[in-house]
Every structure is written in C-alpha cells, then in structure tokens.
Amino acid sequence: MKSNTHKLQSDFVQTVKGGISDMKGVDRPDRVHHYQRLIKNIFKDVLESAYPITHKILGDEKYSELISDFLLCYSCKDPQYWRMPYEFKVYLEQTELVDHGKHPYLSELLNFEWLEIEIHSQQDVNVKLRQGEIILNPYAELLELKYPIFKHSSHEQLKKGGPYYLIIYRDLEKLTVQFSELNSMSFQLLYSLKGVPQDKDAYCDLIVANTDTNSKATIKHQLDSFIQSMLDKDILLDSSIA
Amino acid sequence: MNLGVGIGYRRDIADIITSRSAIKPDFIELAPENWMGMGGYWGKKLRAAAEVFPLTAHGLSLSIGAPDELDFDFLKRIKAFIKEHNIQIYSEHLSYCQCDNAHLYELLPIPFTEEAVKHIAKKIKQVQDYLEMPLTLENVSYYTAVGPEMKESEFISAIVEESKCQLLLDVNNVYVNAFNHNYNPHEFILDLPLHAVKYIHMAGHTQVSDDTIIDTHGENIIAPVFDLFDWTLEHINPCSVLLERDFNIPEADQLNYELNTLKEIANHKWTAHEIKYA
C-alpha cells in the first residue's frame, strides 16, 4: 500500500500527465497547466526531432495525439531522455491509434529514423585490424526492407514494395550518419564482413572460387573494385583507417 | 571546493566554450544523462572540452525525491562517468522526475512532508555511500506546493540535517519561488543551513503572468537576481558559481557580461571574506 506522500506524488504525476483533473492537495491548481505544458514540450521536441519523416507522414494532429497518448499511457523507463524516442518507436509499433494497414511501412521507417540517432551516438569502439584484414564499419547496420523508406517521404511512394537493401553507417571522418542503397549481392558480401575481420585476399579468393563462372578474373576485378569503393566510403575498414 | 565561475556546457555553444575565444569560463558543468555512453561527434566534442576545463556534473534523472527506490544500474553508469571525466562535483535536484517506474523528464515538486524527508535522506545516504563522494542537492523552482506539512526551507533543512548532503543554492530559483509563493527571499535564504552550501547556480527566468515566473534558463539574469546573489555571498563560504543558459542563447557578449559580473561580485564579496563555517 502506498504511503500518503507516495500517493500525493502518484496523483500529481497523473495530474500533470492529464489523467486526473481535480487533485486534492495541490496548492495552486491554476498553475498545473505549466507542468503539463513543460512536459508535453519536452516530449514533443525530442520526438519531432527524432522522427521527422514519420511526423510529416502522420501529420501534426495525429502525431500530437500519439505523443499525448504515449505520455499518458506509456511508462518511459530510460533515464536518458534522448533515448526516449526508442521507447516511442516500440509504443508506435504496438498502438492501435495508428492504422498499420494504411501505413505498412511504419515499423521500417521508425527503425530507420531511430538508427540515425543510435549510430550517430553509439559509443566509440576500438577496432584493431592486422595488415590485409577488412571488416564492416562497426557503426553500421544492414537493412533488408520491404518498403523504400529511405527514398521517399510521401505516403503513396512509400507503399511501393521491394525488396530494398540498405546500409546506414557512420562516416568516420565527419562523424555524420550516411546511408547507401545496395543490391542484394553487395548486401550479402557486406553482411559476411560484419563483426569478424577477414583477410581480404583470402576472402576474395573464396568468393571467386565459389562463383560458377568462366570469367573468374573479371569477378575478382569487380570484387576488388567493390571493396575499394566500400573502403573509400568508410563502409568497410582496413588496417590503415581502423 | 571553489572552481571559480563556470558555465553550463550546451551543444549550441560547445565550440565557443572549448575554443576559449569568445568566453572564458573557469569550469564547465554538464548533465551526465546527455553525455553518458555518447560516442561519435558529441563524444569527441566532450573529450575536447574535458581536456580544457575542470568538469562538474549536474544530473537530471536521479530522481532523489521519487517514491521509487534508487536505480543502481543508472548510478553505476553515473559513477563510471564521474571517474572517466574526473568530475569534481556531482549535483542533482531536490525533486523527482520519475514515479511508479515512469520517467517524465521534468522536475516535479516533492510534497514537503516528514515522510518524504525520511525517505529521501535514506536515498541520499545510499547515493553518497555508493558514489563515495558527496551529493550536492539543488533547491528547485516549483509552481505549486503539493500537500505540504512544513515550509520549503524547513523541508530542505531537515533533509540536509538528516542526510548530511551538501546544498547547491540556486539563487534564481529562490527569487522565482519567493515571487511565485509570496515569501521574502532573504528570509528564506537565512532559514537554510548555509554551512552546507557548496555550489551556486545563477540563471534567467521568464515571467508569464502577473503572479507567475517560470524558471526557463532562457533569458538574461535580471538585476534583482544579481542583487540577491550579491547579498547571499555575504552569508556563505566561497564556492563554485555557475551560469546556466539552456535556451534562447545570446551572443557571446551577453554571456561574457554575465560571467564577468558574477566574477566581479564573487571577487569583491569573497576576497575579504571571513570564512563563516569551518
């Protein structure tokens, strides 16, 4: 059972969330709206900034309604408020206030927008590579998507089914987040370089050996070019830049 | 500990602070919740700033006044952050932003009750034991009291007495609360356990109606708040002073003016200051 003080605090929280309208014990009920406004602004600012495309597609009115419902019904667990948009993403994926049939791409779009934040902020890691080794940028996510959420921001265009392949990653020089569309082969190649360093020559030899073609030299050349272009973009790392 | 006069490290002014070209604070204060676990662009900026300035940390989410028990996973990360960046002072708000396992990210008014005093003092001791350093708690601005059994100054005094924590005296908050709740700010300050004041905050505010001021940190410091600061320094030992500016950040000239005014007042009041509390 809650103590009196605990009950006062629980009731006050429900009051500022908008769930109780006439709480007893509040000295200045005429000022409660300041708390309501301040809290709503905190949520609004961070959630509009985190999901600009989702916000645009759903529209101001709907997005504001969702933020209010999130505030009232969801219990944010993360003490770091800049991570609160992740919890909003989880909430939006589940809430019945969004017509998911009308917006089938929403989950992918939210994930894409959240990854921009997460990859930008992700804690730095120390990558050590030996001469000749390559690895996928540790600040990168490979996405296989049903909808072109990285290309368009209009509802109709977003519904054009895929598949689409995408990498979203941190540019190690500018420390900004970039993304690049891939074909399915590139996607698979990069996926196989995730997490574990590979000797570049041995890796290429293995790929070429497993290719059912007579023009292995051409494949080797194309593979070398592909790896170099990925190294140039910081999508792959080698010992010179890791 | 007297680090001089510092400024809140905000992303909008990160570069001009670190370059020390346009403004020259003695130290910087940051909110650990905004920086913990942060790599990439902002992690690099923080490391650069930490090489130039002594750091203090002013937390947002400890929620010491919450009915909930402490979040030791969070405290563990705070402790690591303090160690990593050699944080000199860890301060927090005498308020709560979490209740019944839900964060609201806004500072809410604790009911001034005996029950709250006991509960919060217990939590403060746990924090101080865990972090192995003092917790310095700020008097917060509030717009309504909730079920009070005692005066605000009695509440703060009881918590300091019971927990032996330190006080961060936010002079602007005293001014705001005195205006909003119609009391005398000088009498309020004299009612506090001034021996425990180890840190001062100064900021601007916004008057939104005839009888209400909101503590926005979004305006310049007004003359009556500078005057209250000047008067306050006569009653406390020398300590670090911080200028907070979170929104509507002005040109460097204005920030310099406020930093320099705070320094001038502190130098004037504390040069010949007789240490009042051992």
ipTM of the shown complex? 0.94
Residues of B in contact with A13 (CB under 8 A): 99-100, 102, 104, 108
C-alpha radius of gyration, chain A, whole number: 24
The pLDDT value given to residue A16: 95
Give bridge partners of residue B189 from the DSSP assignment. Answer: none
CB contact under 8 A, A124 and B40: yes
Q: Confirm if A236 and A168 have CB atoms less than 8 A apart.
A: no
pLDDT over 70 at A84, yes or no: yes
**What average pLDDT does range A99-115 have in this prediction?**
94
| Per-state percent for chain A, helix, strand, coil, to nearest 5 | 50, 10, 35
CB contact under 8 A, A3 and B67: yes
Please tell me the distance from the alpha carbon of residue B244 to that of residue B250, in angstroms, as a whole number.
12
**What average pLDDT does range A88-95 have in this prediction?**
94
**What average pLDDT does range A172-184 have in this prediction?**
96
Chain A nearest CA to B33, separation (Å): 5
Provide the greatest CA pair distance for chain B. Answer: 50
The pLDDT value given to residue A215: 82
Chain A nearest CA to B102, separation (Å): 4
Q: Does A29 touch chain B (CB under 8 A)?
A: yes
The pLDDT value given to residue B278: 63
pLDDT over 60 at A45, yes or no: yes
Residue with tokens 């992303």: B11
Q: Confirm if A142 and A190 have CB atoms less than 8 A apart.
A: yes
The pLDDT value given to residue B1: 85
CB contact under 8 A, A5 and B40: no
Q: Does A151 touch chain B (CB under 8 A)?
A: no
> What DSSP line would sit under B82-127, residue for residue?
HHHTT-S-EEEESSEEEETTEEEEEEEPPP--HHHHHHHHHHHHHH
In this complex, the residue of B36, B41, B74 whose CB is nearest that of residue A120 is B41
**pLDDT in tens for each of the 278 residues of chain B?**
899 999 999 999 999 999 998 999 999 999 999 999 999 999 999 999 999 999 999 999 999 999 999 999 999 999 999 999 999 899 999 999 999 999 999 999 999 999 999 999 999 999 999 999 999 999 999 999 999 999 999 999 999 999 999 999 999 999 999 999 999 999 999 999 999 999 999 999 999 999 999 999 999 999 999 999 999 999 999 999 999 999 899 999 999 999 999 999 999 999 755 666 66
The pLDDT value given to residue A155: 75
Q: Does A241 touch chain B (CB under 8 A)?
A: no
Please tell me the distance from the alpha carbon of residue B206 to that of residue B248, in angstroms, as a whole number.
11
Q: Confirm if B39 and B27 have CB atoms less than 8 A apart.
A: no
For residue range A108-163, list pLDDT tens digits in order: 999 999 999 999 999 999 999 999 999 999 999 999 999 999 987 777 788 787 89
The pLDDT value given to residue A59: 95
Q: Does A128 touch chain B (CB under 8 A)?
A: no
For residue A194, give the amino acid letter.
K
CB contact under 8 A, A32 and B105: no
Q: Grade residue A1 by pLDDT with cuts at 50, 70 and 90.
A: low
Chain B nearest CA to A210, separation (Å): 38
In this complex, the residue of A25, A28, A75 whose CB is nearest that of residue B102 is A75
CB contact under 8 A, B40 and A175: yes
Question: What is the overall mean pLDDT for chain A?
Answer: 93
Ramachandran quadrant class, A18 (left: phi over 0; alpha: psi -120 to 50; beta: rest): left
Strand B197-203 and strand B240-244: the pairing is parallel
For residue range B68-102, list pLDDT tens digits in order: 999 999 999 999 999 999 998 999 999 999 999 99
Residues of B in contact with A34 (CB under 8 A): 143, 208, 212, 214
Comparing alpha-carbon positions, the chain A residue that sits nearest to B95 is: A9
Encoding tokens for residue A87?
């919890």
CB contact under 8 A, A31 and B113: no
CB contact under 8 A, B116 and A78: no
Query: Which candidate in B96, B143, B152, B181 is best for mutational testing of the A interface (most A CBs within 10 A)?
Result: B143
Q: Does A168 touch chain B (CB under 8 A)?
A: no
Q: Does A31 touch chain B (CB under 8 A)?
A: yes
The number of C-beta contacts closer than 8 angstroms across A and B is 135
pLDDT over 70 at A85, yes or no: yes
Q: Does B102 touch chain A (CB under 8 A)?
A: yes
Please tell me the distance from the alpha carbon of residue B117 to that of residue B123, in angstroms, as a whole number.
10
- Quote the crossing angle between the two packed helices A106-121 and B40-52, to the nearest 10°: 20
Residues of B in contact with A25 (CB under 8 A): 111, 146-147
CB contact under 8 A, A123 and B39: yes
How many residues does this entry show for chain A? Answer: 242
Chain A nearest CA to B214, separation (Å): 8
The pLDDT value given to residue B274: 60
CB contact under 8 A, A39 and B104: yes
